Amino acid sequence: MQALIDSVGTLSAKERKALAILLKEKGINLFGIAPICSRGADEAPVLSYTQESQWFLWQLEPDSSAYHITTALRLTGELDLDALRHGFDSLIARHETLRTTFCEEDGIAVQVVHPPAPLHIEVIDLQAGGLSYEEQLNALTDSKRQPPFDLRSGPLLRASLLRVAADEHVLVLTQHHIVSDGWSMGVMVDELIQLYAGYRQGRRVSLPDLPIQYADYANWQRQWMDAGERERQLGYWLQQLGGEQPLLMLPLDHARPAIQSYRGALFDIPLGDELRVALKQLAQREGATLFMLLLASFQVLLHRYSG
């Protein structure tokens, strides 16, 4: 079996799919044990299922900012703008998703990976007087999140540098959810910090090689599902969820709008250190992530209010 797994990477996409179907018929799920392989030069990178849903939603509402992901980094000390630009250049060359756009070929949505190119960093000076710096920061951060992305032409990463003072800046990064999520945004920021520190000190930063890119995973996922996994998972959830599911009817102070407005808000709930540690320990005992635990707690709350 190990020899078979090792040889998978040498097969073409059609050969891997045919092998997966054959083994599936014999009760062996190849893609449950085989590593994800780099796609061949002749393989068009398709969309993952999550990306496909984002592509569909964007076509419905191309001007919506509901699926924009924004993070703001406060930078203190003297800033080396050239080192920051070099850091972004290396980051974009390293990660295909940061230079990917989307299109349709023969009715099928595919990813288009472009050659590395410099990222434009908009530099904005905050104004003295009038609004406070904090109010200006909030307003500018929100304004940089709002403009729509064009998934066909890109780029799908925006960077703005807000200059508060000579030794204080705020870097605002915005991406579309089709190429990023909360986890990968954290990875990107961590690598950017390492690259910036290296270029500022005039040394080369050596990050671990990436054996695969996200488009490789998307192709692997499609082949896995096409080999019979889609039917297996669909059958499982139909059995688990049963028939028609009821709508969650919460006691609201006004009716739901006919058209979703996305005019929501964020409400931060600080957790004390003692509670945070206890929650992490509970999650570990139950073999779950902290996110899973908090989501389950929220669902219990919804059940209490809705019955």
Q: 70 has which bridge partners?
A: 174
Q: Which residue, among 115, 123, 47, has the nearest Cα to 79 in the 3D structure?
A: 123
Is the pTM higher than 0.85? The answer reads no
CA distance 201 to 139: 33
How does pLDDT run along the chain (307 residues), one tens digit per residue?
444 444 454 555 566 566 666 655 656 655 555 678 888 877 888 999 999 999 999 999 999 999 999 999 999 999 999 999 999 999 999 999 999 999 998 888 999 999 999 999 999 988 766 778 788 888 888 888 889 999 999 999 999 999 988 899 999 999 999 999 988 999 999 999 999 999 999 988 889 999 999 999 999 888 888 878 888 889 998 998 887 877 777 888 888 788 888 777 888 889 999 999 999 999 999 999 999 999 999 999 998 988 8
Please name which of 172, 167, 72 lies closest in space to residue 121, comparing C-alpha atoms: 172
Cα 114 to Cα 3: distance, rounded to the nearest angstrom: 35
From the list 6, 44, 12, 18, the residue with the least C-alpha distance to 227 is 18
Give 244's DSSP letter.
P
Q: Residue type for 114, please? A: H
DSSP states of 22-55 = HHHHTT--HHHHSPP-PPPTT---B--HHHHHHH
Bridge partner residues of 74 (DSSP): 170
DSSP 8-state code for residue 89:
H
